[in-house]
Amino acid sequence: MSAPRHIRTPLGRVRGFGAARSGTGHFWMQRVTAIANIPLTIAAVIIMMMLLGRNQAAVAQILGSAGPAIIMLLFIVSIAIHMRIGMQVIIEDYVHDELTKIGLLIANTFFVIVVGLAAVYGILKLSFGL
Amino acid sequence: MMAETRSLEPHPATERPLSPHLQIYRPMLTMLMSIAHRITGIGLYFGTLLLAWWINAAASPNGYSKFEAFAGSWIGRIILFGYRWALIHHLLGGIRHLIWDTGRGLGPSEREWLAAANLVGSIAITVLLWIVGLLAMGGP
């Protein structure tokens, strides 16, 4: 047996890393956003139900008012983080060609940022009446 | 000792056992609900396109009438009904997973009960919301 090259323990080396080199950050964030999504989804569904059948002016006015707008912004941000991690797990589970996998992971990030920011822009536009 | 050493030599013709694949197992409710959780997640992922469209359409009367035309069409109704069911199903499924994360509800009868409650609950809530929606819209 040769002497170990460094004095760090095996636990010290893997702590915060693991196979994905990013540790349990995604696992934890997926659960934090899942918990946030429970009240936010219920609130968002109630807002959507309240707006059913109303005309555009009423929808714009209600959706742009402080309470519903802040709830929708929180909902969008929380589901965007949650769905980016979720889709990443799905891609990593089923796509084994390295280049395709990297391409899809980047596309996933782009999709989430574009759709998320477009939805945030829409809410801010209604709120500030731009 | 000799046999063990021999087995370590490379042997290309060796048929190694593979781990059992999905089709080996009899479909079970817990397994189907696990797959449903992932599929509804994928549906909701692309469903955010509808959410972003709806929010941005609300800014102008012209844009909103286009969204309403889609939402009122048969294909639109089916897609939005499916989106709502996926949202409720994934929400309940997520609560189920959070319960499991605490180490609870993993027993044979508990996990069957949770899976059944997930499915029945999601359908019941979706239909209830649909009825409330129809009433709010002033009839079908």
Asked whether the predicted pLDDT for residue A130 surpasses 60, the reply is yes
In-domain check, residue B9 = no
Which pLDDT score is estimated for B36? 95
Chain B hits for A125, CB-CB cut-off 8 Å, are: 56, 59
- Residue A31 token pair: 């659960």
In-domain check, residue A7 = no
In-domain check, residue A20 = no
Which pLDDT score is estimated for B27? 80
Q: How many residues does chain B have?
A: 140
pLDDT tens-digit series, residues A41-62: 999 999 999 998 899 999 999 9
- Give the closest-approach CA distance of A63 to chain B in angstroms: 8
Q: Among A37, A83, A122, whose Cβ lies nearest the Cβ of B55? A: A122
Which pLDDT score is estimated for A11? 73
In-domain check, residue B24 = no
In-domain check, residue A6 = no
CB contact under 8 A, B58 and A83: no
CB contact under 8 A, B132 and A115: no
Report the complex ipTM: 0.84
Which pLDDT score is estimated for B134? 83
Which pLDDT score is estimated for B109? 92
In-domain check, residue B61 = yes
Mean pLDDT in residue range A77-91: 97
Q: Which domain holds residue A81?
A: 25-128
CB contact under 8 A, B44 and A126: no
Of A115, A53, A44, A123, give the one whose Cα is nearest residue B68: A53
In-domain check, residue B22 = no
Pick the residue of A48, A50, A61, A87 with the most B CBs within 10 A to test the interface with B by mutation.
Answer: A48
Mean pLDDT in residue range A18-39: 84
Which CATH number characterizes residue A37's domain?
1.20.1300.10
In-domain check, residue B4 = no
Q: Among A45, A53, A80, whose Cβ lies nearest the Cβ of B136? A: A53
Q: Which domain holds residue B120?
A: 29-136
pLDDT tens-digit series, residues A3-14: 556 677 777 766
Q: Among B45, B98, B132, whose Cβ lies nearest the Cβ of A35? A: B98
Domain count across chain B: 1
Domain count across chain A: 1
Which pLDDT score is estimated for B15? 77
Q: What integer best gives the mean pLDDT of chain A?
A: 89
pTM of the predicted model as reported, rounded to 2 decimal places: 0.83
Q: Who wins on pLDDT, B132 or A122?
A: A122
Could you give the percent of chain A with pLDDT greater than 90? 75
Mean pLDDT in residue range A86-112: 95
Report the residue of chain A nearest B51, measured CA to CA. Answer: A119
The reply to whether B76 touches chain A by the CB within 8 Å rule is no
In-domain check, residue B3 = no
Which CATH number characterizes residue B112's domain?
1.20.1300.10
